[in-house]
Amino acid sequence: MIDTSPNTSHDDPIDVLIVGAGFAGMYMLHRCRQHGLSAHVVEAATDVGGTWYWNRYPGARCDVESLEYSYSFDADLEQEWRWTERYASQPEILSYAQHVAERFDLKRDITFGTRVTAARFDETTSTWQVATHADGTGSEDGGGPEGAASLEARFVVMATGCLSSTNKPDFEGMDDFAGEIYHTGEWPHEGVDFSGKRVGVIGTGSSGIQAIPLIAAECDELTVFQRTPNYSLPAHNGPLDPAWEAWVKTNYPSFRQANREQQAAFGSHVPRNERSALEYSEEERQQIYEERWQAGGFAMTRSFGDLGSDEEANQTAQSFVADKIAELVDDADTAALLTPDQLFACKRMCVDTDYFATYNQDHVHLVDVRSTPIETFTPTGLRVGDTSYDFDIVVLATGYDAMTGSLLRVDFEGRSGQRLTEAWSAGPVTYLGLTVPGFPNLFTVTGPGSPSVLTNMIMAIEQHVEWISDCIVYLTANGLATIEASAQEATAWVGHVNRVAEATLFTTCNSWYLGVNIPGKPRVYMPLMGFPDYVRRCDEVAADGYRTFALA
């Protein structure tokens, strides 16, 4: 059984309380130990893995290539771990997370089955007073203890992930539905048996697009409810090419460094063509798109330098994909309904295996719920307009309260009793996406205002964890108790993040980057585009002795 009450003595606060045991929390713990800082992790799940612990739906897979979506901080780990596919599946990524936890003996400092519910900054002691609640899901060895506990820490590091607070639309009548309902982000560990079942899937983002072909392969009837048709590029997944693996492993340090110089911190072997799409003839352009479509994954998004800034250039990518969908989908009406009518790559791009072709199967149906939304669930299914659909299982692939959801779920109370929910009522306010004015000694790994979800997350996590741990070491070595972002710097930072986004076309779509998928959430472009420039800025701030912060 895991100890659930680490260092609760008020005489002896721990240095760093880490919330979350996904890739961010695990590395943060390891790094703290390396620096001789006392640290403890509180994790709601029963094991490590974060997003890869929760997202067990069929087809769940990372769309950054496996040799890149992995830690770079330990050369031996990099060499010894063997990925089997070009794009790793959820079970394999979860095994990798478990391997890392074991290799670095992390679990002895992780309390599982427990949520941080509230945290108050005590201005007299310059520590965080943190409340936790064990929810009874407990540890894997048979259920942890239920109940509340508190602990005290000098620093709190939120490693809660960007896509971890599920969005479950409040459809009328949902409680009356007699069948089963599952959200992709809270998938049952024992799996779901779709054989012989009538299944409805709501949502066609990355999760829906990955799950739909596999659910279709198993069930009797599948009906997909689509509000917005999405762009999806073929993964062309397959067994990992041994020659490519050998090359990468021989050159890992330079390969990682080349990736860190990419806007999205991955894909240095598929460089971005910086020239305008409009500089090419139609035939040349088609050939470039076709090569990149065949290369698979996100390659096509890097076809030309102005797809994100010039509508006419973007239109050429839109037409190319529309033609591909028309080729892949037999029924012209279904193909038309699946064809996106928004800018290419404006919402989060999806990567799929056989998604569009799935609609050629007779038992797979597509229903447009944009013109007529889902009206209500019924005891036997759901109703759209005058049409009722009967289901045994409904899958909610309806996404997340992204980037801020899991941060705001904790009742944070900063200086002078200020609540984070109030401070962020008009949108998240951070400095560097790492710190929040009014909330000293609180750090957010891949927080809003940092490149985070626009990058290879593991690279972004490593950069943040290293910056945060170096900062705590600096403060400790210099006898400083607190670090706090100034309101002025944070306002300027939010302005910078917005200006960078507004220079592109990407603030115009209803994407979760803007928070518009959540009713009432302020419309603010939350992530910052451009990983390498961002890293340079963070490094400059550190090299300058964190002088843009208030240190005391």
CA distance 190 to 7: 35
Q: How far is CA 89 from CA 69, 204, 239, 431, in A?
A: 11, 19, 11, 34
Give least dist CB 295 to ligand NA7, A.
Answer: 20
CA distance 344 to 230: 9
Give least dist CB 39 to ligand NA7, A.
Answer: 28
Within 200-219, the residues that bind ligand NA7 by CB under 6 A are 202-208
DSSP 167: -
Closest to ligand NA7 by CB, 400 vs 525, is: 400
The burial class, CB within 10 Å (0-12 / 13-18 / 19+), for 387 is exposed
Within 8-47, the residues that bind ligand NA7 by CB under 6 A are none
The residue number whose beta carbon is nearest to ligand NA7 equals: 205
Chosen residue from 46, 129, 140, 169 binding ligand NA7 by CB under 6 A: 169
State the DSSP string of 180-235: EEEEGGG--TT----TT-EEEEE--SHHHHHHHHHHHHH-SEEEEEESS---EEE-
Give least dist CB 410 to ligand NA7, A.
Answer: 21
User: With binding defined as CB under 6 A, does residue 397 bind ligand NA7?
Assistant: yes
User: With binding defined as CB under 6 A, does residue 457 bind ligand NA7?
Assistant: no
On whether the CB atoms of residues 401 and 393 are closer than 8 A, the answer is no
Chosen residue from 398, 435, 446, 463 binding ligand NA7 by CB under 6 A: 398
Kindly report the CA angle at 27 between 45 and 540, in degrees rounded to 5?
A: 130
Choices 115-123, 222-230, 289-297, 431-439 (CB under 6 A): range interacting with ligand NA7: 222-230
Helix/strand/coil for 485: strand
Closest to ligand NA7 by CB, 184 vs 262, is: 184
Number of residues interacting with ligand NA7: please give it, by CB under 6 A: 22
Site string for ligand NA7, 502-541 (x = CB under 6 A): ----------x----x------------------------
Choices 144-152, 199-207, 299-307, 485-493 (CB under 6 A): range interacting with ligand NA7: 199-207
Closest to ligand NA7 by CB, 169 vs 305, is: 169
- Closest-CA residue to 59 (of 229, 235, 226, 298): 235
Chosen residue from 4, 228, 303, 435 binding ligand NA7 by CB under 6 A: 228
Are β-strands 411-413 and 393-396 bridged in parallel, bridged antiparallel, or unpaired? Answer: unpaired
CA distance 479 to 465: 21
Choices 20-28, 131-139, 225-233, 243-251 (CB under 6 A): range interacting with ligand NA7: 225-233
Give least dist CB 340 to ligand NA7, A.
Answer: 10
Within 329-388, the residues that bind ligand NA7 by CB under 6 A are 348, 369, 374
Q: How far is CA 295 from CA 132, 350, 364, 413, 496, in A?
A: 47, 15, 28, 49, 34
Helix/strand/coil for 522: coil
Binding site for ligand NA7 (CB under 6 A): 163, 169, 184, 202-208, 225, 227-228, 348, 369, 374, 397-400, 512, 517
